[in-house]
Amino acid sequence: MNTVLINEIETCFKEAFKTDPLLIFSPGRINIIGEHTDYNDGFVFPAAVDKGIVAAIQKTDADSSVAYAVNKDEKITFSLDKIKPSAEGRWENYVFGVIAEIQNRSKKLGNFNIAFGGDIPGGAGMSSSAALENSVVYGLNELFDLGLTKNEMIIISQKAEHNYVGVKCGIMDQYASMFGIENHALLLDCRTVESKPYEIDFKDHQLMLINTNVKHSLSDSAYNDRRSVCENIAELLGIKALRDATESDLETIKDQVSPVNYQKALFVIQENNRAVEASKAMEAGDLERLGQLIYQSHAGLQHQYKVSCEELDFLVEQAKLNNKVLGARMMGGGFGGCTINLVAKDEIEAFSEAASKAYQEKFNKACSVYFIELSDGTHII
C-alpha cells in the first residue's frame, strides 16, 4: 500500500479537524475481460489493485459536516438534512450520493468530517469513483454502526453513481473494489452477484497497464446510451437481460433493429462468452488463448460496441507488433483511460519503452505505464 499517501491523508485530516481519524483504503480495479457485460447481468473478470483511495473519517459535534478532497485542495461544508446533487461532474457528488442513499434506507447519520486522496488518476478507467464511494459508505457504516453488509454497501455506492453522478453503471467496479482478494481476480456473475476467485500467477508473463492519459468527453452519455440499447434489445427478445440471449436468438430479430445496434448486442453476447472462456483458459494455464480472447475483446469494443478511441486503438496496435505481448485491450467504460496488456516478463521493459516512444511521437503527449499488485478489497488500515 502507498504509505506516503496514507501519511499525507492522515496528516491533512489531523491538521484540518484536530482529531484522530479512522483510516480506510478502498482499491481501484482492473478488469481482465468481460467489458460492458455487467449491466447485462453477465460475467466480468476484475481484480482490486494496490492503488485507490485513502479516506480519513471521524464524527464531529459540529452542526455541519465537511468533505475535503486533498488532491484538489478543496473543502466543502454541508448539512446532512439538505443533501442534493451539486453541479455535474463535481467530486462531492460521490460523497453526497452515498449519504443520500444511506438516508433513503432510513439509516441515521450524524455529522462527520472526511478527507481523502488517491493514487489513480481520474479517467484512467480504474474506478477511482467506485473506490471513493466504497470508502465513504464503509467509513460511515463503521462510525455510525449502520449494520450494512458489504453487499448492501456496494448497492449504495452503485446507486450513488446512478442518481448523483448520472452514470447508470453496472456493479463490477463497486464489487471488485469491496470484495477484492490479494493476488486474485474474481470471475463475477453480475446476476447473482457472486464470484469465484482465481489466483493470478502468470509465471513468466504479467499484466501491465498503459494509460493513454486522455478521457474524451461524452463518455458518460455514451455509456448510458449503450446501456439503453442493450435493455431495449433484451426487451424485444422478451428476456430479462442480454446475458440470456444466444447469437441465434439475436438473429431472429435482426430486421427489427438497426445494423449498428445489432452489432452492439452481438458484442455483448460474444464478450460474455469470452469472459467465461477466459476463465477456462486460465484454469488450463493456456495464456496464448487468454491473450487471443483479450485481443478479440478489444476488436469488439472498437468496431462493434464503439467505445474505444484513437489513442487506445493505437496502443493495442503497438502491442500487436510485439509477439511477446499475448493480448491487449482497452479497459473499463472506454473513450480513454488504460489498456491492459498480457506481456512476457522479459519483454516488459522493451515493450513499455517502444510503446511510450511511439505514443509520444504519434500524439505529441506521454502515456503512463503502471504495474499493479492485486489487493484486498475495501478495509480499515
Q: State the burial class of residue 334 (Cβ atoms within 10 Å of its Cβ: 0-12, 13-18, 19+).
A: buried
Of 27 and 332, CB closest to ligand GLA: 332
Choose which of 52, 291, 332, 377 interacts with ligand GLA (CB under 6 A): 332
- Closest approach of ligand GLA to the CB of residue 353, in Å: 29
CB of 370 to ligand GLA, least distance (A): 17
| CB 117, min distance to ligand GLA, A | 21
Site membership for ligand GLA, residue 298 (CB under 6 A) = no
Q: How far is CA 325 from CA 124, 210, 313, in A?
A: 21, 13, 15
Stretch that binds ligand GLA, among 111-119, 144-152, 164-172, 286-294 (CB under 6 A): 164-172
Residue whose entry in the numeric block shows the C-alpha cell 505505464 = 369
CA distance 5 to 326: 34
Using the rule CB under 6 A, is 172 a contact of ligand GLA? Answer: yes
The partner residues of 56 in beta bridges, in order of sequence, read 23, 115
Out of 97, 118, 300, 333, the only residue in the binding site for ligand GLA (CB under 6 A) is 333
Could you confirm whether 173 is annotated as catalytic? yes
Based on the shown chain and the rule CB under 6 A, indicate whether residue 305 belongs to the binding site for ligand GLA.
no
When the beta carbons of 39 and 112 are compared against ligand GLA, the nearer one is: 39
Q: How far is the CB of 177 from ligand GLA (least distance, A)?
A: 11
- Residues in a beta bridge with 342: 207, 327
Q: Dihedral sign, CA of 258, 263, 268, 273?
A: positive
As measured in angstroms, the least distance from the Cβ of 130 to ligand GLA is 7
38 binds ligand GLA (CB under 6 A): yes
> How big is the site for ligand GLA, counted in residues (CB under 6 A)?
11
Binding segment for ligand GLA (CB under 6 A), chosen from 69-77, 168-176, 349-357, 367-375, is: 168-176
Bridge partners (DSSP) of residue 78 are 65
Q: Binder to ligand GLA among 9, 24, 35, 314 (CB under 6 A)?
A: 35
Letters for 121-140 (x = contact with ligand GLA by CB under 6 A, - = none) are ------x-------------
- What residue has cell string 485491450? 329
User: For residues 244-265, b (16+ Cβ closer than 10 Å) or e, as one string?
Assistant: bbeeeebeeeeeebeeeebbbb
Would you say 184 or 329 has its CB closer to ligand GLA? 329
Q: Please identify, using beta-carbon distances, which residue of 157 and 318 lies nearer to ligand GLA.
A: 157
Q: Is residue 173 involved in binding ligand GLA (CB under 6 A)?
A: yes
Interaction between residue 336 and ligand GLA (CB under 6 A): no
Of the ranges 11-19, 34-42, 71-79, 361-369, which one interacts with ligand GLA (CB under 6 A)? 34-42
- Catalytic hit among 61, 173, 201, 346: 173
Q: Which of 123, 170, 291, 377 binds ligand GLA (CB under 6 A)?
A: 170
Active-site residue list: 173
Binding positions for ligand GLA, rule: CB under 6 A: 35-36, 38-39, 127, 169-170, 172-173, 332-333
